[in-house]
Amino acid sequence: MTESPAARVWYPYTQMLDLAPPLEIVRGDGAWLEARDGRRYLDAISSWWVTLHGHAQPRIAAAIAAQAARLEQVILAGCTHPGAEELAQRLVALTPAGLNHVFYSDDGSTAVEVALKMAVQCWQQRGQPQRREIVALEHAYHGDTVAAMAVSAPSPFTAAFSDWLFPVHRVHTAYCHRCPLGLQRATCHLDCLDSLEQLLRQRGDHIAAVIVEPLLQGAGGMIVQPPEFLAGVRRLCDGAGVLLIADEVLTGFGRTGTMFACEQAHISPDIMCLSKGLTAGFLPLAATLCRDEVYAAFLAADRRRTLFHGHSFTGNPLGCAAALASLEVFANEPVMERIGTIAAGHARRLARLRQHPRVGDARQAGTVAAIELVDDDDGYLAGIGPRLQRFYLEQGVLLRPLGTVLYVLPPYAISPSELDFVWDVVAASLDQVH
Ligand code: PMP
C-alpha cells in the first residue's frame, strides 16, 4: 500500500488497500463541494444524506456562530437552554399527532438505541415485563452501534459481530422488485404483511415494538415501499398492542416529498427517530420523540424508573440552533416547492432510463431516486459499485452506489440543470461502466 500523506485518519466504510486517496474538500456552496486542487463536485448524495438546503447555507452558519458566542454547551441533566426547549416545541408541532415528548441524543444510531431502550423499559414499568422482543424488517438498516446493528438486517456491516447481536424477529418488507413471495404489486394484496400478522398473533404479548424505516429503506438498497404497507404495519401493531417505532433518520425533513414519510400513510408512530437532516446536515444531533403513554411509564418518584441514557452532548446548543435555523429556512423559503421540483426531475429522468437494458428497477420516493442494475453480482459488495463511483468522480459528481443500486439524493439547493447534469452522468455510466 502506498502511504498517503493524510493516512492518520481511519476512514469509515473505505477499502483499506489499493484505495484511491480521499478527496480533500475545503469548501462547500449549495449543491457543490470544492476540493483542494480547485476541482468542483456536485454532491448528489447530500454527504451521507444529511445536507438539506445546501452546503454552508448562510442563515444556518450564522445561527451556529451566534449561538457559539452565547452558549456552546451545557449539561442537559438538571439544566436546560432556550434552544432545546424551543426546538422540542417546534418538533412536536411539526411531527405527526401525539408525539409530544422529545429525547435528544447525537446521531441516527443513538436515536435508535434510545427508541429501543424506551420501548423495552416502558413495558417493564407498565407491568408487562415479558414484552422484550423486537420485530424488524428484512433489508433494514438502523445504524452501526450494537443494538442498532441487531435490528438491522444481517449484512457485511454486521457480519463480524453476529454473535453479539440480540435476537430479533425478522419479517417481510414490501420490496416489490424482489417480492419475497414472488407476487406482483399490481395484483397482490400486500401479502408480505402476513408474516408480521402471523408473528403478532403467535407472539404478540411478548413483543415490545416493531421498528421500520417508513416508506424508504435506505442503506438496504433504497427500497421504496407502498404507503399502504406502512399503514398495514400500524394497523397490525394497534391490533396487538405493540409499539411502532418509525426510524425517520433518513426520511425526515422532506426527503420523501412530505415533511415526514409517515404522513403519506396517514399514520403516527408511538416513537419516532430523527437525525441527519434535523440540523440540515450541519451538526450531529438526534431526537427520539414519543407519545404520552410511553412517557407516562417513566413518570415516577422511584429513581430506578429513570431512562438512564444520556450522552455528553445531548441537546447541544449549537445543534439546536442549527435545527431551529433550518426550520426557519423551511418557513421562509419555498423549500417544499424545491422538493417538488427535484421529485419531478427525478420522475422525468427515471421514466427515460426505465427502458435501458441494464435497468432492472427504477424507483423513487420524493427527492430520492434509485436504479437497481441487472447484475449477477448483487448486494452491497458487488464489484461494479467502486467502478461506478470512480467514473462519477471523474465526471465531477459525488455518488456512492449501494452495490448495484445507484441512487441520487441531492441537497434541496440543487437546480434543475444541475440535477439534469447528474442524470446525464448516471445515464452515461449505464453505457460506459461494466
Ligand atoms: N437509521 C437510518 C434509517 C439511517 O439511514 C441511518 C444512517 N444511514 C441511521 C439510522 C444511523 O444514523 P447515523 O449514521 O447518524 O448513526
pLDDT at 375: 80
Give me the residue label for grid cell 404478540.
204
* Whether pLDDT at 229 is above 80: yes
Expressed in angstroms and rounded, the spacing between residue 249 Cα and the centre of ligand 1 is 6
Reduced to 3 states, what is the DSSP secondary structure of residue 153?
A: coil
pLDDT at 10: 87
> What's the average model confidence in pLDDT over 43-62?
98
The active-site residue, picked from 41, 43, 107, 141, is 141
Expressed in angstroms and rounded, the spacing between residue 20 Cα and the centre of ligand 1 is 25
* Whether pLDDT at 397 is above 90: yes
Reading the block at residue 21, the C-alpha cell is: 486517496
238-268 burial by CB neighbour count: b if 16+ within 10 A, else e?
eebebbbbbbbbbbbbbbbbbbbbbbbbebb
Instruction: Evaluate whether 78 touches 67 at the Cβ level (below 8 Å).
Output: no
pLDDT at 1: 47
pLDDT at 4: 58
What does the mean pLDDT of the chain come to? 96
* Whether pLDDT at 99 is above 50: yes
* Whether pLDDT at 2 is above 70: no
* Whether pLDDT at 6 is above 60: no
Asked about 13 being catalytic, the answer comes back as yes
Asked about 141 being catalytic, the answer comes back as yes
Burial class (CB in 10 A: 0-12, 13-18, 19+), 2: exposed
Contacts of 22 (CB under 8 A, 6+ apart): 4, 6, 9, 11, 14
The 10s digit of each residue's pLDDT in 261-305 is 999 999 999 999 999 999 999 999 999 999 999 999 999 999 999
pLDDT at 3: 57
Write the single-letter amino acid at 320: C
- For residue 283, which of 6, 52, 43 has the smallest C-alpha distance? 52
Reading the block at residue 279, the C-alpha cell is: 440540523
Write the single-letter amino acid at 114: V
- For residue 37, which of 393, 331, 325, 277 has the smallest C-alpha distance? 393
- Residues, the chain, total? 434
- For residue 197, which of 153, 150, 152, 229 has the smallest C-alpha distance? 229
Name the H helices within 292-408: 292-296, 317-332, 335-353, 384-394
> What's the average model confidence in pLDDT over 64-69?
98
pLDDT at 80: 98
Write the single-letter amino acid at 158: T
Q: What is the DSSP letter of 365?
A: E
Instruction: Evaluate whether 279 touches 106 at the Cβ level (below 8 Å).
Output: no
> What's the average model confidence in pLDDT over 80-84?
98
Map out the domains of the chain as residue ranges. 25-53+336-432, 61-331
pLDDT band at 15 (very low <50, low <70, confident <90, very high): confident
Say yes or no: do domains 25-53+336-432 and 61-331 share a fold.
no
Determine the topology of domain 61-331 in CATH.
Aspartate Aminotransferase; domain 2 (3.40.640)
Residue minimizing CA distance to atom 15 of ligand 1:
108
Ligand 1, residue 276: give the atom nearest the CA: 15
> What's the average model confidence in pLDDT over 103-125?
98
Residue minimizing CA distance to atom 1 of ligand 1:
142
DSSP states of 262-287 as a string?
GGGGT---SEEEE-GGGGTTSS--EE
pLDDT at 8: 85
Question: What's the sign of the alpha-carbon dihedral 46, 70, 289, 257?
Answer: negative
Half-sphere exposure of 62 (CA within 13 A, CB side): 6
The active-site residue, picked from 41, 276, 361, 412, is 276
- For ligand 1, say whether the CB of 252 is within 6 Å of any of its atoms: no
Which of the four CATH numbers 3.90.1150.10, 3.30.1300.10, 3.30.1380.20, 3.40.50.1100 does domain 25-53+336-432 have? 3.90.1150.10
Contacts of 327 (CB under 8 A, 6+ apart): 90, 94
> What's the average model confidence in pLDDT over 38-55?
98
The 10s digit of each residue's pLDDT in 118-151 is 999 999 999 999 999 999 999 999 999 999 999 9
Half-sphere exposure of 345 (CA within 13 A, CB side): 23
pLDDT at 380: 83
